[in-house]
Amino acid sequence: MSFDYVVLGAGSAGCVIAHRLSEDPDCRVLLVEAGDAATHPFVSIPGAAAALEGTNIDWAFRTVPQRNLNDRRIDYPRGRCLGGSSAINYSLYVRGNRGDYDHWRQLGNTGWGYDGVLPYFKRAEANNDIMDGYHGADGPLSVESFAYRNSLHEIYLEAAQSVGLPLNPDFNGATQEGCGYYQSTLKGGRRCHAADAYLSPIRDRMNLTVLTGTLITKLLVERGKVRGVEYIDHGRSVECVTAEIEVVCCAGSIGSPHLLMLSGIGPADHLREHGIDVIADLPGVGRNLLDHFGRAPVSFTIEDPDKFGFAAGSLDTHAGQFDRDGTGPLTSMHVDAGAFCRLRAEDAYPSAQLFFMPGYTERHKSVDGRFTVHLGGYVCRPQSMGAVTLTSSNPLDRPLIDPKYLSFADDLERTVELLQKNVEIAEAKPFDGVRGRMARDLGSRKKIVDHIRAYGATIWHPTSTCRMGVDEHAVVGPDLMVRGVEGLRVCDASVMPTMVSGNTNAPTIMIAEKGADLIRSRSAMSTAQI
């Protein structure tokens, strides 16, 4: 088989690239995905996201033991289906802030400053609630507010304001700082993942071919140019396909560096260690792994939970209610409200993202069997860098994932400050009369640190393993072309030069929207109406 473009991975980025490139009817596009369609019955149900972990649409990776987390191995979910991780995530639509992208530009990534990327956020978006200069109205990706509101949310916002966080109606607007409600990638109250938004409406395009159940095993390189790929079709046979113009790797921050290294593109010493011929010595491939670290919440029980509509019952019971009429506890992702704050006065932009998580189902009973609420969050721009490396040269062997959480000392200090901020909010006056007992004594720094090391884990935002830049350690340039190799781009969260201040799904879709124009050599300003 031969195509103009071969796109590897049908996650958030790959769906966008396939959609945009196939807009040209004369352009033949192949989209290749290791998983199948996201047919699990819980995919469309917002509040059932946690139940998707470990299913057949999850790669279900695990990290190596984390030295700074009591040698625990951390579960590392990544979507394996059409839609990728956007089909199993918590659907928050968060872009980051102006400072994130202006920093990318300052590092030499021309065109990637905030003013350069905002048109692509807008082009992707169909926002059903906010209509202003920061949002799009007719893009493929539906964005709306969670339908469910609980009076506990309003109490949380009062508490956050009482400790100095202003009310902010739009974290993706003029300013990010403050407390408020999150936006989400939902459509009519149901999940709108990348395949729903970008693939489903165009599956009848004659110039677009989608292969599922197809594991890419190797890039085929001849005289320094990627000519195509080798893949295993449904675990049965090894096949090859040719790319006449480019291969676009959209396999994510774990899959993209893994595939590059299997193909001889990466740190030469590491490749030779596994008997792989070196095609391009790029030391940065797989390095610079950044991830948001959190999930060590401040928790307390609720007095009189019936007053706040806490619904007992099984997940299946509530899923049935949602399927029948779109109502019930599972209309919420349980992270509806939160905040962005500066942990230190010298921080120019918010340095922590906070979540308020009231529990709505029996799985949230965690203190003496009573209903519990959680105040969580993470440091926005962690400095601890890990790596994705090869286990062997066998493409069926999973890579080694080592985020090296808290290896940078200030990441721990800032995480302590974040928990102290959540304790301050939890103990604020608006929660008096609502708050029961605290789940854990976090009254000293040592107790907070012990709590972090015992319970901290990934927030599922790996980035930067094929970092964009102009220095010798960058893997791709600002045009997303892989250095030293022709006919190959990487276009996914792995190219982020540094971490963004927030969830990574919306930025990944933006990267792909801009990447599609880079491939087509078009500008966002001339295509804003597409």
Look at strands 280-281 and 265-266 and give their pairing: parallel
Catalytic residue among 153, 193, 461, 473: 461
Rounded Cα distance between 92 and 84, Å, is 15
* Token digits of residue 179: 């407390």
* Token digits of residue 510: 């933006």
For tokens 């993942």, what's the residue? 193
Q: Is 364 a catalytic residue?
A: no
- Give me Rg for the CA atoms of the chain: 22
Torsion sign across C-alpha atoms 520, 526, 528, 529: negative
* Token digits of residue 21: 């490139």
Residues linked to residue 353 through DSSP beta bridges, in sequence order: 340, 378
Element (H, E) at 437: strand 435-438
Residues linked to residue 481 through DSSP beta bridges, in sequence order: 489
Residues 6+ apart with CB under 8 A from 383: 408, 410, 411
- In angstroms, the first-to-last Cα distance of the chain is 30
Closest by CA to 389, choosing from 371, 405, 403, is 403
Asked if 126 and 137 count as a contact pair (C-beta separation under 8 A), the reply is yes
Closest by CA to 381, choosing from 507, 505, 502, is 502
* Token digits of residue 262: 């299997």
Torsion sign across C-alpha atoms 283, 284, 286, 291: positive
Asked if 26 and 207 count as a contact pair (C-beta separation under 8 A), the reply is yes
Asked if 339 and 476 count as a contact pair (C-beta separation under 8 A), the reply is no
Asked if 259 and 219 count as a contact pair (C-beta separation under 8 A), the reply is yes
Rounded Cα distance between 159 and 427, Å, is 8
Torsion sign across C-alpha atoms 427, 428, 432, 435: negative
Coil, helix or strand at residue 109: coil
Rounded Cα distance between 141 and 126, Å, is 6
Coil, helix or strand at residue 459: coil
Residue 72: count other Cβ atoms within 10 Å of its Cβ: 18
* Token digits of residue 107: 């590092």
> Helix 114-124 to helix 505-520 angle, to the nearest 10 degrees?
100
Active site residues: 461
